[in-house]
Chain A
Amino acid sequence: SAVISQKPSRDICQRGTSLTIQCQVDSQVTMMFWYRQQPGQSLTLIATANQGSEATYESGFVIDKFPISRPNLTFSTLTVSNMSPEDSSIYLCSVRPGTGGFNEQFFGPGTRLTVL
């Protein structure tokens, strides 16, 4: 597995502002992902963070709203832009170490975002 940390762990933000969430892994990993868990809902994949190239977004998510950076194999950021109360969620990064098993992904502790 991998040890994953996220910053911040939680934040309360005003409508119209932006927040950048950081994800740090203790080892190099090929694949990193960003998920969202809205209140009372399941986890939904936002995008795959690709090292050295643009992220691959899922249907319903766009780069202008959720810009992602992946400068190296251990770090990624997700920005939630021009926030509205509907963006209040837990944002999670995950990694697929690519060693052992088939497709186990390991998750960070999450960032709990509240937008007022």
Chain B
Amino acid sequence: DQQVKQNSPSLSVQEGRISILNCDYTNSMFDYFLWYKKYPAEGPTFLISISSIKDKNEDGRFTVFLNKSAKHLSLHIVPSQPGDSAVYFCAASGSNDYKLSFGAGTTVTVRA
């Protein structure tokens, strides 16, 4: 039972343009959401998070948007850089539960 879904397995974007990654969840008890970036042969690296009391969180080139009514969040990367080429995972947890549920990941390729 996949409670966190990333329906786009891959995304190709030109350097300098915006990358938009989407994530949907089904569990209404989730109230904290995270994005991780993973390079091959490395562990996931924490990127940015957002709690359910907010609808937007920004950190440099990365912005996460949360639409609670739609159970949807997105990660915007502006501008995209070649080093952003990686697999991006969306994750979620509840406030009483520190366990993370992960999406399947989206592979981003930034073209020069």
State whether the Cβ of A53 lies closer than 8 Å to any Cβ in chain B: no
Q: What number of B residues sit within 8 Å (CB to CB) of A?
A: 23
Bound form: Cα–Cα A28–B49 in Å: 23
A105 and B49 contact, CB distance less than 8 A: no
State whether the Cβ of B79 lies closer than 8 Å to any Cβ in chain A: no
A102 and B32 contact, CB distance less than 8 A: yes
Contacts of B46 in A (CB 8 A): 1, 104-106
Q: What number of A residues sit within 8 Å (CB to CB) of B?
A: 25
Contacts of A75 in B (CB 8 A): none
Bound form: Cα–Cα A26–B14 in Å: 38
Q: Which of A58-83 contact B (CB under 8 A)?
A: 58
State whether the Cβ of B78 lies closer than 8 Å to any Cβ in chain A: no
Closest approach, in angstroms, between the C-beta of A37 and any C-beta of chain B?
9
A45 and B89 contact, CB distance less than 8 A: no
Nearest residue, chain B, Cβ from A41: B104
A104 and B43 contact, CB distance less than 8 A: no
1/0 per residue, CB under 8 A from B, across A76-116: the answer is 00000000000000001010100001111111111010000
Contacts of A22 in B (CB 8 A): none
Closest approach, in angstroms, between the C-beta of A91 and any C-beta of chain B?
10
Nearest residue, chain B, Cβ from A112: B41
State whether the Cβ of B44 lies closer than 8 Å to any Cβ in chain A: yes
State whether the Cβ of A43 lies closer than 8 Å to any Cβ in chain B: yes
A42 and B43 contact, CB distance less than 8 A: no
A109 and B43 contact, CB distance less than 8 A: yes
Bound form: Cα–Cα A94–B45 in Å: 11
Contacts of A48 in B (CB 8 A): 98-99
Q: Which residues of A contact B (CB under 8 A)?
A: 1, 4, 31, 33, 41-45, 48, 58, 92, 94, 96, 101-110, 112
